[in-house]
Amino acid sequence: MYGCATLHGTLFQSFRGIIMINTMHHGQTFLNDHEIELTLWAPLVSDAWVVLPESGKRVKMARDERGFHKVRVDAEEGSLYRFSLDNGKIIADPASRFQPFGVDGPSMFVNPSGYRWKHDSWETYGMGESIIQELHVGAYSPEGKYSGLKEKIDHLKDVGINTVEMMPLAQCYGSRNWGYDGVFPFAPNFSYGTPNDLKSLIDAYHGEGINVILDVVYNHFGPLGGVFHELGPYFSTTYRNPWGEPINFDSGGSDAVRGFILQNVRYWLEEFRFDGLRLDAIHSIYDSSPTSILKEISSLKDELQKNLDRRIKLIAETDRNDPSTVMPQEKCGLGMDAQWNDDFHHAIHAYLTGERKGYYSDYGDFDKIVRAFTNGFVYDGVYSGFLGKVRGSRFHVVPSDRLVVFTQNHDQVGNRAYGERPVTLMGDSSARLFAASVILSPFIPMLFMGEENGEKNPFLFFADSTDGTFTETVRSGRLSEFSAFGWDTAIPDPFAESTYKASVLDWDSAKLDRGMKFNKLYRDLIKLRAIYITGKKYACRRAAGNENVIEVRYGENFAVFLSYTHRMFQPAVEQPCEVIMDTSDPKYGGTGSERKSGKGQIIMEPYSAVAISVQ
């Protein structure tokens, strides 16, 4: 029997050799300030030309036997171009570095050396040290630009957030979008600023000790504005996923497509200096190749990490509850650094809100919360009534700092009919308990923008399109989703500008008493995590007395009690101890009384969390 590591290593080396032979650099290559080489993979096209509208030139490209069209042109940074095909169509570059007028406009030449970085070295964090905030650039500030994020860097530092995770930036249709329907994966969305504006933002983050992760989508390209169908087999004809045609990673022509995606990974991590990528819905990335594209991405990350001499992180989104996602390749894993854990969210959300429709039907009783804390996954090889089958596998074989947990994220808020956040659904006291459950857990905490201020504005699904067929398809699809959860289907129109504007953070409310108290809660929770939790051994259990209370102990001197009961609760603490945090404290907006110390005398308010130092 072959050892897994040996066999996979052989396949990997062999497959990488094929990739390297059959793949070229896609898009632009600056040879100097005035000469640029362009490469277009278009095996369906016999003849192609580069059109330079500003000079009026039209330059024929040379085609090789694999369908790569290539030519050198006299041009400079900032000038525009398109490709003209032999069928008469004129298109943008699928590997465009910038679409200044959107998906239907020309591409722009962008010199990768055009930005002068101020910070060539910066602190990077391991997953266990990371305090992540997911954000949408357009909804983060009234400006809706990269500049709006720059202005709030001090806010992130004050809270203790050391990593931001940006929702996808690849150019999509329209001027406002969540970003998951990108069709120009190398082109940062023009709505937020220029590529150099993005680099300047990342540079500023790094200068203040904040890492930056980018959400990327490799399971499909968007349905509007793309040019791939004109060019070659970029899409799979074998598989289907909920959002469109999957990308072709294992059929004819897939070598070039894989190279296109791997180049995109390198582009964001190397040229833009992102500290990691979040890979969207990898369960919908279909690939039967001996070495999957996900393993290729993981291996490329390892290579870049070594060559660039800095830590790089890969975070996967997957609904499979499969620990092999975060196991190293030599142990037959995918080699990801972490994965999102929806189970943790669903277990607590369903219990605190009482929601039981849709996938929440698998959750809701307190034992599911206990399983989430003790096992990592709730469904770790047990039967799911919602799916009608066994789901997941045991997580105990990998460390807890491989799971990302959250009270909310763009999916869990934005895919609700009205985009409500936990504070709206369960009230402030339960939301404070939820926050403590996440930040004081042994897992990796991720906040969603604004929650640290008790943000009440919704985060709705929004987009921008005038294509009537497409907009109606989206509307009807979302209504069908919502009906499965029993939600009101009289929803805000996703394509109305007012829906987008309603989702922008309310920074004025953050300055009011309630917002400031929420902010203090989050700052104190994050400080406690850094002092008592990061890197410590832990044990989780249901607290003595069979109440709906969880006890998490870190080392010998620190414990957290999380009370999910409507009654007062007295934890069983034998040693003298000091209460160092209580989420029901009035300074956090609670109604509890101040309790500092005692032995077996701590009384917890309903739906609260208490952290104690044991003497």
User: Is position 317 annotated as part of the catalytic site?
Assistant: yes
280 is catalytic: yes
Distance CA 186, CA 182 (A): 9
Count the Cβ atoms, other than its own, within 10 Å of residue 413: 24
CA 77, CA 95: separation in Å to the nearest integer? 16
What string of H, E and C letters represents the secondary structure of 184-198? EEEEECHHHCCHHHH
SS3 track for 70-134:
EEEEECCCCCEEEEEECCCCEECCCCCCCCCCCCCCCEECCCCCCCCCCCCCCCCCCHHHCCEEE
User: What are residue 278's DSSP bridge partners?
Assistant: 215, 315
Q: What is the CA radius of gyration of the chain?
A: 25
In sequence order, the 6+-apart residues with CB closer than 8 A to the CB of 368 are 347, 350, 351, 362, 378
Beta-strand relationship, 276-279 and 597-598: unpaired
Of the residues 317, 322, 401, 420, which is catalytic?
317
DSSP result, 441-482: SSSEEEEETTGGGT--S----------HHHHHHHHHHHHHHH
Distance between CA atoms of residues 32 and 36, nearest Å: 7
Given the residues 203, 275, 280, 464, select the one marked as catalytic.
Answer: 280
**Rounded Cα gap, residues 336 and 277, in angstroms:** 10
Q: Residue 600 has which token pair?
A: 């077996």
Question: In a 3-state reduction of DSSP, which class is residue 266?
Answer: helix
* Nearest by Cα to 254 from 303, 211, 292: 292
Structure tokens at 380: 């770790």
CA 530 to chain CA centroid, Å, is 23
User: What secondary structure letter does DSSP report for 290?
Assistant: S
Each as own residue / partner, the long-range contacts of residues 393-396 (CB below 8 Å, 24 or more positions apart, any chain) are: 393/321, 393/322, 393/323, 393/324, 394/323, 395/321, 395/323
Amino acid residing at 315: I
Strand extents, DSSP E, 500-548: 538-542
Annotated catalytic residues are 280, 317
